[in-house]
Amino acid sequence: MDLALILSAMGCWLAASVLALTRLPGGRLYIGLGLLGAGLALGGATHTLIHGQVSQMQFQFWGAAVCLELDALSAAFILPLQVVVGLGCVYASTYWPASTPRTGTFVRFFYALLATALTAVFICRQGMIFLVAWELMAISAFFLVGTEHERPEVRRSSWIYLVSTHTGTLCLIALVVLLFRHTGSLLWSGMPTPGTHANAGEIVILLVAILGFTFKAGAFPLHFWLPGAHAGAPSHISAVLSAVMLKSGVYGILRISSLLPPVPHLGGILMILGGITALYGVACALAQRDYKRLLAYSSVENIGIIFMGIGLGWTGRALGNPWLAALGFGGAILHVWNHAFFKSLLFFGAGSVLHATGTRELHALGGLGKRMPITTLAILPGVMAVSALPPFNGFVSEWFLYRGFFASLLHDSPWWAVLAIFALALTGGLAGVAFAKFFGFLFLGEPHSAAAEHAHDPGPSMWVPMAILGAICLFMSLGSPLLLPLLDRVVSVLAPGSPELLAAGLGRDLSFLSGMSILLIAMGAGAFLWLRRSHSVPERPGTWDCGYAAPTARMQYTADSFSDGWSALFPMVKTRVRRIRAIFPGRTTFHTGFQDAVGDAWLAPRIDRLATRLLRFRRLQRGYLSIYILYILIALVAVFLWMLVRRRLLG
């Protein structure tokens, strides 16, 4: 029943994509189909999460058994997916309308296709079909990333994305084959027998899965494709890619690990990987001057936090400690939700700013708070949530993870729990710096350039989705005790045999926490009213600024100076200053730039060198059809010979 809802939702999205392709003027119909699909899928996913029933469908397709299944884990990923693609569809109607020259229909077609493929990824339980859905997702994302392909940097980042995602797919093909050899079936079903630990073959399967899915999730050091791709795409696409598509990697890791017995120590390793990813991502976010790249790097950070949660869950599973497993997996899933909502909000906000000003440079903006008051108000919950500040939802999931780390500390005090607490605390602090920079230099102060002078708020079809997401960010925190039963359902898929631990163990504490958040908001509102009641001096002078009488907008602090205190610690920031000599120095220059430690600094020169070496193989490509037919013939003969020799050699 729930699965039927999801399937009909996919049908809606598919119909929407076909509609976009026909170039009929059905703008409203497209949005209607999208919203209908999102609504149907949300209904199905929510129902599954509340009741925890698994709905399944098996049929034969080309002689192979195919299985589609909707359980709590799938539903937990479909839920944020459909909220974001549904709202993104509305947002795009103004942001990237069908009438956009050349790319209007193109974007709408692939957007709806991406929504279909992503939904399919979450319900396919058979290796081959999963790979087909996965590829459909990757390819539609590739075309969306390359929307503005006339700009060279977009072209470059979309190619890097394509190569990375296919390298990941290569690992996934290996994974499907290995799983097939392990279980004797392409179907992904069944639970590991409780109490066992993984053997060598199963560990290899899990490692291949982690490698393949990490390419998609964008954890360090396989994140290098992410910032360019996510920053270069149109903003509503960036929202879907960052908020939801990265999570398909997380989903894959969780799904495969739920099929296999627990592996000891792997949880600790994943936690360290997550901690490094989180710190690296937030440090890079801090150094960005392109506000969309800043958001993209912050996604790397959040994937790190999710990985830390999964690592904790795996540790709990391996130790046979269901409470740790529940806290880890529950925190990870909650952060998947929270990140989906606040990150899509932030990308929608960034899109509004880009729409209004046409620049992605933090340097050129500022003072938008007066010119775009609705956007400013709507984006503030997202900014505070991503900095993990109460009373918004980002804090709640980090609180879950802290609870888990402290619980393991009190239980058997492993060294990694202390490291994880350290990493999470530092990440939180740095995220605060990065997003104070993001919000402060976009919306506050005076405009740094003419681009920001004449900005204005977008229409309701753009700000209403943002307002909805902002409200979700607030209510997921205030109503967090209500989410515990849903999280319990998901945890019971990932760590069987631990029913209802979260609702029983965290319910009281979380109610107190949300009560305190409500108190915080109420007292803040009271103080605001008290301040508004007082009289202020009617004339409004300029900022005092130590009495300087003629300040200009260019004298304000810049975004670069704001994060400069950290640049000494980060090898990614390269600064070139020409020394000032002599008493009357001439002109001097200052240049500072950012290089990703993995993508730009390490990988790019090596790839370039490899490409030069491989040039000598170019002579094989003559461009004559007859030569290619010859190649095929040679290959066939070689295979034929190998068959003969193999008979002889192996008996």
Partner 1 sequence: MEDILPIRLVHLLLHGLTALLVAPLIPGLINKVKALVAGRQGPRILQLYYDLAKLIRKRAVFSRTTTWVFLLGPIATVTVGWVAALIVPFGHFPAPIRFEGDAIFFAYLFGVARFLTVLSALDTGSSFEGMGSARELTFSALAEPALFLGFATLAKYSGSISLSGMLASPQFTLSRVMAPHILVLTAWFIVYLAENARIPVDDPNTHLELTMIHEVMVLDHSGRPFALVLYGSSLKLLVLGALILGPFLPRTHYWWLDWVAFFGALAALAVAVGIVESIMARFRMNKVPQLLLAAVVASAFAFTLLFA
- 363-382 positions binding partner 1, by CB under 8 A: 366-367, 369-370, 373, 376
Shortest Å, Cβ 197 to partner 1:
27
The DSSP 8-state label assigned to residue 59 in this structure reads E
Shortest Å, Cβ 523 to partner 1:
4
Shortest Å, Cβ 150 to partner 1:
36
Residue 433 is a binding residue for partner 1 (CB under 8 A)? yes
Residue 481 is a binding residue for partner 1 (CB under 8 A)? no
Return the number of the residue (139 or 377) whose C-beta is nearest partner 1. 377
| String of DSSP letters for 288-315 | -SBHHHHHHHHHHHHHHHHHHHHHHHHH
Total number of residues binding partner 1 (CB under 8 A)? 73
Residue 605, preceding bond cis, omega within 30 degrees? no
Return the number of the residue (531 or 650) whose C-beta is nearest partner 1. 531
Task: Find the binder of partner 1 among 59, 62, 544, 590 (CB under 8 A).
Answer: 544
**Contacting range for partner 1; rule: CB under 8 A; set: 243-251, 385-393, 462-470, 493-501:** 385-393
549-608 positions binding partner 1, by CB under 8 A: 551, 553, 555-557, 561-566
438-457 positions binding partner 1, by CB under 8 A: 439-441, 443-446
Question: At residue 274, what is the residue type?
Answer: G
**Contacting range for partner 1; rule: CB under 8 A; set: 318-326, 489-497, 507-515, 577-585:** 507-515
Task: Find the binder of partner 1 among 406, 475, 570, 602 (CB under 8 A).
Answer: 406
CA atoms within 13 A on the CB side of 176: 17
Shortest Å, Cβ 370 to partner 1:
6
Return the number of the residue (527 or 638) whose C-beta is nearest partner 1. 527
Shortest Å, Cβ 514 to partner 1:
11
- Surface-to-core class of residue 619, CB atoms within 10 Å of its CB (0-12 exposed, 13-18 middle, 19+ buried): exposed
- Surface-to-core class of residue 611, CB atoms within 10 Å of its CB (0-12 exposed, 13-18 middle, 19+ buried): exposed
The whole-angstrom separation of Cα 316 and Cα 321 is: 5
Task: Find the binder of partner 1 among 58, 196, 543, 588 (CB under 8 A).
Answer: 543
**Do 303 and 253 touch, CB atoms closer than 8 A?**
no
The whole-angstrom separation of Cα 501 and Cα 212 is: 32
- Surface-to-core class of residue 631, CB atoms within 10 Å of its CB (0-12 exposed, 13-18 middle, 19+ buried): exposed
Shortest Å, Cβ 392 to partner 1:
9
Task: Find the binder of partner 1 among 509, 607, 631, 633 (CB under 8 A).
Answer: 509
Residue 106 is a binding residue for partner 1 (CB under 8 A)? no
Residue 403 is a binding residue for partner 1 (CB under 8 A)? yes
**Contacting range for partner 1; rule: CB under 8 A; set: 138-146, 263-271, 301-309, 406-414:** 406-414
Shortest Å, Cβ 131 to partner 1:
41
Shortest Å, Cβ 283 to partner 1:
11
Shortest Å, Cβ 255 to partner 1:
30
Task: Find the binder of partner 1 among 542, 571, 585, 593 (CB under 8 A).
Answer: 542
Shortest Å, Cβ 577 to partner 1:
17
- Surface-to-core class of residue 618, CB atoms within 10 Å of its CB (0-12 exposed, 13-18 middle, 19+ buried): exposed
CA atoms within 13 A on the CB side of 14: 12
**Do 158 and 149 touch, CB atoms closer than 8 A?**
yes
The whole-angstrom separation of Cα 63 and Cα 15 is: 27
Task: Find the binder of partner 1 among 49, 378, 384, 487 (CB under 8 A).
Answer: 384
**Contacting range for partner 1; rule: CB under 8 A; set: 71-79, 435-443, 589-597, 626-634:** 435-443
Residue 485 is a binding residue for partner 1 (CB under 8 A)? no
Residue 436 is a binding residue for partner 1 (CB under 8 A)? yes
- Surface-to-core class of residue 512, CB atoms within 10 Å of its CB (0-12 exposed, 13-18 middle, 19+ buried): exposed
Look up residue 353 and give its two tokens.
């700013």
- Write the Ramachandran bin of 545: left for phi over 0, alpha for psi from -120 to 50, otherwise beta: left
Residue 409 is a binding residue for partner 1 (CB under 8 A)? yes
Task: Find the binder of partner 1 among 429, 459, 571, 585 (CB under 8 A).
Answer: 429
Return the number of the residue (77 or 402) whose C-beta is nearest partner 1. 402
**Contacting range for partner 1; rule: CB under 8 A; set: 12-20, 253-261, 307-315, 402-410:** 402-410
Residue 504 is a binding residue for partner 1 (CB under 8 A)? no
Return the number of the residue (191 or 519) whose C-beta is nearest partner 1. 519
**Contacting range for partner 1; rule: CB under 8 A; set: 215-223, 354-362, 403-411, 633-641:** 403-411
Return the number of the residue (410 or 614) whose C-beta is nearest partner 1. 410
513-532 positions binding partner 1, by CB under 8 A: 513, 516, 519-520, 523-524, 527-528, 530-531
Shortest Å, Cβ 351 to partner 1:
21
Shortest Å, Cβ 535 to partner 1:
5
**Contacting range for partner 1; rule: CB under 8 A; set: 80-88, 92-100, 357-365, 420-428:** 420-428
Shortest Å, Cβ 431 to partner 1:
9
The whole-angstrom separation of Cα 132 and Cα 137 is: 9
Burial 357-386 (b: 16+ CB within 10 A, else e): bebbebebbbbbbebbebbbebbbbbbbbb
The whole-angstrom separation of Cα 187 and Cα 549 is: 74
Residue 428 is a binding residue for partner 1 (CB under 8 A)? yes
Phi, psi of 22 (to 5 degrees): -70, -10
Return the number of the residue (497 or 542) whose C-beta is nearest partner 1. 542
Q: Which of 357, 322, 105, 146 is nearest to 234 (CA)?
A: 146
Report angle CA 334, 338, 343 to the nearest 5 degrees: 150
The whole-angstrom separation of Cα 424 and Cα 409 is: 15
Q: Which of 244, 213, 196 is nearest to 343 (CA)?
A: 244
Residue 467 is a binding residue for partner 1 (CB under 8 A)? no
Look up residue 646 and give its two tokens.
């193999």
Residue 432 is a binding residue for partner 1 (CB under 8 A)? yes
The SS3 of residue 411 is helix
Strand stretches in 420-504, DSSP E? none
Residue 479 is a binding residue for partner 1 (CB under 8 A)? no
**Contacting range for partner 1; rule: CB under 8 A; set: 238-246, 399-407, 474-482, 483-491:** 399-407
Say how many Å lie between the first and final Cα of the chain, rounded: 54
**Do 9 and 44 touch, CB atoms closer than 8 A?**
yes
The whole-angstrom separation of Cα 242 and Cα 248 is: 11
Task: Find the binder of partner 1 among 51, 194, 422, 504 (CB under 8 A).
Answer: 422
Burial 389-416 (b: 16+ CB within 10 A, else e): bbbbbbbbbbbbbbbbbebbbeeeebeb
317-356 positions binding partner 1, by CB under 8 A: none
The SS3 of residue 187 is strand
